[in-house]
Chains A and B, each alone.
Chain A
């Protein structure tokens, strides 16, 4: 049996910190505590503690990056194609960590969590969390809970890539290598625009009630529309044409009505929206898209070159040709600012007709790059002692 065929059974764990009065002071000025962090780990930490790989998940991801929670679990983690025994991020070789960010809805403290001051869900009383805050919490988990002083590599795509960049800036001594994938040092106006339309869809759902819907009917319509919009931005015209074209959904001719979906692409998006609302909280969607919009290394540090002034990691920045949401020039901008600081940074634009989401899909070129980069990093960290 190949090691990649072995079934990986993982357990979701939870760690609590920032208990009052030692609440965590957030960037927005407010404090939050206690904070629960849902996380999963895979593989074994080496004796030298030099094989830890932290994965930062994207907007709608969670701590469950790979494997299953039980043998009859029907779906594996969100990056199971990449992470596992014998896979590109090989859990026989690396100790992989992934945690749900704060503000999330998959076990970490977020707007749907109970506010200890009121005994009711926070809803919009939840403080605004930023990428910097999320990374601070991840650092606490890595250092205080798991006892790891230095990570071999921090990897993340999209919004996860923003966390990767922040990690290398805020905790340079803790990150030997970094792999920001399909990301940017700040969102473009186009990307902010899509986030705002998604939020507007949620606000306009009468069930949203200013965020105060817990215990009642959640704003599923609004959230589903937000997801549909988001999903379009993760694809590309080419991949949509290939996948759906103008194909009709279970019918020979169009219906000349507003009933069931005419086109396959409509049906697909409806399905995406409907399944998403079963697993995601609308307020988390609002908070996290805001955190993404607010992320801006240029305004935080004056220039991007200044932002990377104190970094000590080696970088591999990756982008994809078909990604129009986080286009390649945004990755190049990051690499050039790193170069200006004489940082060891590599960059590769991987050919793919698929859109932004491509790193979640099987891609031999990407796997090859990740395998080799991680291997070289491990040789490097061991050589450096």
Chain B
């Protein structure tokens, strides 16, 4: 996912000095900012070796490997926040990931691109092809995304899994707040804050 505007929102919801775990932390930019600006105790988990090397270069503590495996050894509620930014759509077992996030963390911050956005719907309905939009930029044959989820899907999922939604925020592609009403049609990005 090229656009990481959700970082700003996530940053604003991480308290100073908090313990933060970033799942699929990429090159470590979010954690670096959080460590520098908010003095957080940050940890990242990342599966891609080149990205891991970038984290090491930034001085961000990182675990190279699968996120479920990486979370296993953390004690219960060790983290104040566990972040899953734009990665949910690429996880094979989202339910397990979500529950593990709320085991090791007091709070989970999850952002994902909304597959219910009108452009996505229009592409499929009118174009008759697997949708390619700014937030879903891949062809069907090269996409890393294995979970196409909408805001409505995720809300239902949380209810079913007994994950308490503390807050939901919806944004356009340029990160302008979108009203909750009609978000599943108009919002490009959703951010959920969850607790157990």
Contact = CB atoms under 8 A, between A and B. Distances in A.
Interface of A: 314, 316, 332, 335-337, 339-340, 342, 344-351, 365, 368-369, 372-373, 376, 379-380
B69 to A, nearest CB: 8
Given A342-B41, A372-B57, 7 more contacts: A339-B73, A346-B60, A347-B64, A348-B62, A349-B64, A376-B57, A379-B59
* Nearest 5 pairs of A and B residues by beta carbon: A336-B73, A376-B59, A372-B57, A348-B64, A340-B73
B49 A368 contact: no
A346 B62 CA distance: 5
A340 B75 contact: yes
User: Which secondary structure dominates where chain B touches chain A?
Assistant: mixed
A351 B53 contact: no
Nearest to A338: B73
Nearest to A377: B59
Interface string B56-67: 110111111100
Nearest to B21: A339
6 contacts: A340-B74, A342-B41, A342-B78, A347-B62, A351-B49, A368-B53
Nearest to A304: B73
A339 B49 contact: no
Contacts of A346: 52, 55-56, 60-63
Interface residues of B, number: 21
B189 to A, nearest CB: 29
B152 interface: no
Contacts of A368: 53, 57
Nearest to A333: B73
B72 interface: yes
Nearest to B49: A351
Listed residue (B49, B53, B64, B75) with the most chain A CB atoms within 10 angstroms of its CB? B64
A211 B43 CA distance: 51
Given A336-B72, A351-B49, A373 B56 contact: yes
A369 B62 contact: no
Contacts of B49: 348-351, 365
A316 B59 CA distance: 11
A337 B63 CA distance: 12
B63 A347 contact: yes
Q: Which of B57, B63, B72 has the most CB atoms of chain A within a 10 A radius of its CB?
A: B63
A251 to B, nearest CB: 42
Given A347-B64, A365-B53, A337 B73 contact: yes
A365 B50 CA distance: 9
A345 B59 CA distance: 11
Nearest to B75: A340
Given A349-B49, A351-B49, A339 B63 contact: yes
Contact of B53 (A337, A340, A369): A369
